[in-house]
Structure 1
């Protein structure tokens, strides 16, 4: 686990550093530190296990979690067509104490060289989908992993989910997400940690914005430079000046071309006034010229485009996981003669069944 040091950014006048955030205190169930610091949710015998290596099997999970308590069921969620693992699973214990102990002892344990991420399975999707208590952290030191981030933020409240974004090789991308069970805990963490130095890097900690909110925030940002694409090959600089000039004074308009002078079918227009640029985007985006529908938007820097793409990818992955939480049923004590097709037929009268699988996995250790 990465070791981290937290201090407030030094003020120029005093050079003094603020103390680190308060240490978490044990709760009624005796958990502290890198584990949930609030009360255990009702019906918390079920755990969600994420960030699984795609080759992890139910038997491996049974071996690991069976050391902690009596298991009722284990399910690795799989694509219904290819049967490939989706990278997460659900595990049910006979009682909440054993589930809590598994969360305390096994969270971030490497399995197939990939640290697993454990949280309580919340059957009500409203909390997950609302984004309440969700915060975004960027400019993280690359040495900070899931557990180090969890340990840092667990001092401020009960954490539902904690993740450092990583690339295909498992290296940190320098940003992550933490979701608390209350807005108050999230606000407290933001107030205390935003601008702090963590491993000598000043981090940004703020509310997590969903795609719609990010798009709205971006649209409200003032800008002068406008990007336009899907131009016809015959569109020239002068054409852009004439079209965009109707909305305000323009300092430059250029169609981008390759080395041979052939149009690359996109260009940039710079306005003197940001309000005029916004009016042009609003009026011209989606309009057709020479049978081509123009895309017109704020011209983004490379770093802005990369950050937007990262955010979209992380959100799509999170939504994919959320989509299937709470939709799975476990049935036990089935006769050996019951087939997958028979199960599907029995349950189809209650709704569309997307997948149905009988598992022969020993869960008694």
Structure 2
């Protein structure tokens, strides 16, 4: 599972040092440790809390630094900074970072999560999503009959603001054991309720359910 406080930064410019990395990411929260691997063009930043990491992802992902567009996402649990040091190269020119994404006014408190590992349980969901705020409820959606996971889940938070932060931080991120990036989006209220009851995700939000087709050759039922 990915660490919610540890960030992977890819596509760093070759002259990016530890000091440069700190200058870029310190505005978003308290940094515990960091490391720029200049020979690989990557770096790691570990924050003291998950909220700071989420803000950094929202603000710095896809930002251009010295001609390089950064990739900022949650790091794998086994990856991360081991030592914080200092480098001597000149700091690169930095474009002004974007402000943290505002709360989506259309946000709901219920999230649909797709592409979770098939071995995950509600405890795994609570461990990942609970770092962003209290989880009111969570459920892994399962196949009828077999009871096997569909690789999807529903996670509910106390409010839409918390859910909005989670979408910004985790949508498109990779977690250990998954074969595809997580899809985290707002669940349709009605379909989400049906999914929890029936054990399946139901149609996607906005999906159109076609009514029964009229067959003019269908035999009419016998009179009562």
Tell me if TM exceeds 0.5.
Answer: no
Q: TM-score range by the shorter chain?
A: 0.3 to 0.5
With normalisation by structure 1, the TM-score equals 0.26
With normalisation by structure 2, the TM-score equals 0.41
